[in-house]
Amino acid sequence: MTATILNKDINKINIEDYSTDLIEKDGILFSKIAGKISYPENGNENCYQIEENSYWFNHRNNCIAAGVLRYCSDRVFFDVGGGNGFVANGLEKKGISTVMVEPGLQGCFNAKNRNLKNIVCSTLENAAFRDNTIPAIGLFDVVEHIENDVEFLTRVHKLVTDNGYVFITVPAYNTLWSNEDIDAGHYRRYTREELEEKLKAIGFSIVYSTYIFSILMVAVFLFRALPYKLGLNNKTNNPEQRKKDHESKKGIIGYVLNGIWKFEVNKIRKGKMMPFGGSCFLIAKKTVVNL
């Protein structure tokens, strides 16, 4: 069967341009080998319940879309570790041709429920994408789940075309480490500088680098990191509490937060950086060396 996927009236994408080692079943492409990931078994389903009404997921989507539209809006975009397709769906709504790659079967089913057509159920490694074929890759809160991040990013570098892009978001600052990181299966948090140096050592050049979620630093430290450091058992995996934490705020607090989120997105649209925040957002380009 020819594995051709259609991207909702945007562009026709032939997945065989990237891999001939995938098997189609019920509208989803599967790798022949299942891969292991450091992510809670019910993680995708828990996120699926809150994404649509979550200020955090919606603001991250707006930041990502602003970056993609500024730097490579005309390229096929592979959202690797795409969860439930919330990012991919958001990019498609902006006119970006998108393929979601996600190893979690439930996440792929949830993405299909969002009417995504370009779904690959696989880890990046097992999808057997050919080197130097992918124009742009997104790794949104993925790299912190990889034990050997340098090895993983080196593989990404090989897959990306010359002058191709990688977009990355990761949680910021190890000083903000808490039980939430442990429950989520994180190996580390990052600073912009740390991630920049790793990418440059591999052969990427940094196109844009900033922090986002600037105002969340204080809240994360006070309500997550500090209790963790004090040895308090602050539970983070309560679904109802998590849903409440992610709900968009109302009143004066909501007004102020919405103003901050709009300010951050406008900064990204203009290519300007923010000096601190709860997450890092980096865009890098595969450097081509002309001999």
pLDDT reading at 290 higher than 70 = no
Q: What is the pLDDT of residue 209?
A: 98
Mean pLDDT of 141-159: 97
Q: Can you give the pLDDT at residue 5?
A: 45
d(C-alpha 134, C-alpha 168), whole Å: 15
Whole-number Å distance between alpha carbons of 81 and 283: 17
- pLDDT score at 43: 84
Handedness of CA 56, 40, 137, 28 (dihedral sign): negative
Q: Give pLDDT, residue 232.
A: 86
pLDDT of residue 291: 54
Give me the percent of the chain exceeding a pLDDT of 90: 79
* 96 falls within a domain: yes
93-96 long-range CB contacts below 8 Å, 24 or more apart? 94/65, 94/68, 94/69, 95/10, 96/10, 96/65, 96/68, 96/69
Q: First vs last Cα of the chain: how many Å apart?
A: 42
pLDDT of residue 12: 58
Q: Please tell me which of 20-29, 187-196, 226-235 the model is most confident about, judged by mean pLDDT.
A: 187-196
Q: Which domain holds residue 217?
A: 4-286
- Which tokens sit at 93? 């709504």
Is position 291 within any domain?
no
Domain annotation covers residue 261 = yes
Tokens of 282: 């980096």
Q: What three-state secondary structure class fits 291?
A: coil
CATH number of the domain at 100, please.
3.40.50.150
Is the pLDDT higher at 101 or at 254? 101
Record the tokens describing residue 174, joined without a space: 């190890």
Q: Is residue 58 part of a domain?
A: yes
How many structural domains does the chain have?
1
Residue 140, pLDDT > 60, answer: yes
Average pLDDT over the chain, rounded to whole?
Answer: 91
Report phi then psi at 170, rounded to 5. Answer: -145, 155
Residue 199 lies in a domain: yes
Chain segment 7-51, per-residue pLDDT in tens = 444 555 889 999 999 999 999 999 988 777 778 778 888 899 999
* Backbone φ, ψ for residue 30 (5° rounding): -115, 145
Q: Are 80 and 98 in contact (CB under 8 A)?
A: no
Q: Which regions of 102-214 does DSSP assign to beta strands (E)?
A: 119-121, 134-140, 160-171, 204-212
pLDDT of residue 2: 40
Query: Which carries the bigger pLDDT value, residue 71 or residue 1?
Result: 71
The whole-number pLDDT of residue 155 equals: 97
* CA nearest to 287, candidates 218, 229, 215, 206: 206
pLDDT (0 to 100) of residue 1: 39
Residue 276 located in a structural domain: yes
CB environment 93-110: b (16+ within 10 A), e (fewer): ebebbbbbbbbbebbbbb
Residue 146: pLDDT above 80?
yes
Question: CB–CB of 216/246 below 8 Å?
Answer: no
Cα–Cα distances (Å) from 55 to 74, 155, 172, 235, 282, in that order, read: 28, 32, 18, 21, 21
Is the per-residue pLDDT at 237 higher than 80?
Answer: no
Kindly state the helix (H) or strand (E) to which residue 217 belongs, with its residue range: helix 216-220
In a domain, 118, yes or no: yes
Does 220 reside within a domain? yes
Q: Does residue 212 carry a pLDDT above 80?
A: yes
Query: How many other CB atoms are found less than 10 A from the CB of residue 132?
Result: 13
pLDDT for residue 234 is more than 90? no
CB neighbours of 147 closer than 8 A, spacing ≥ 6?
Answer: 38, 187
What is the pTM (predicted TM-score) of this model?
A: 0.92
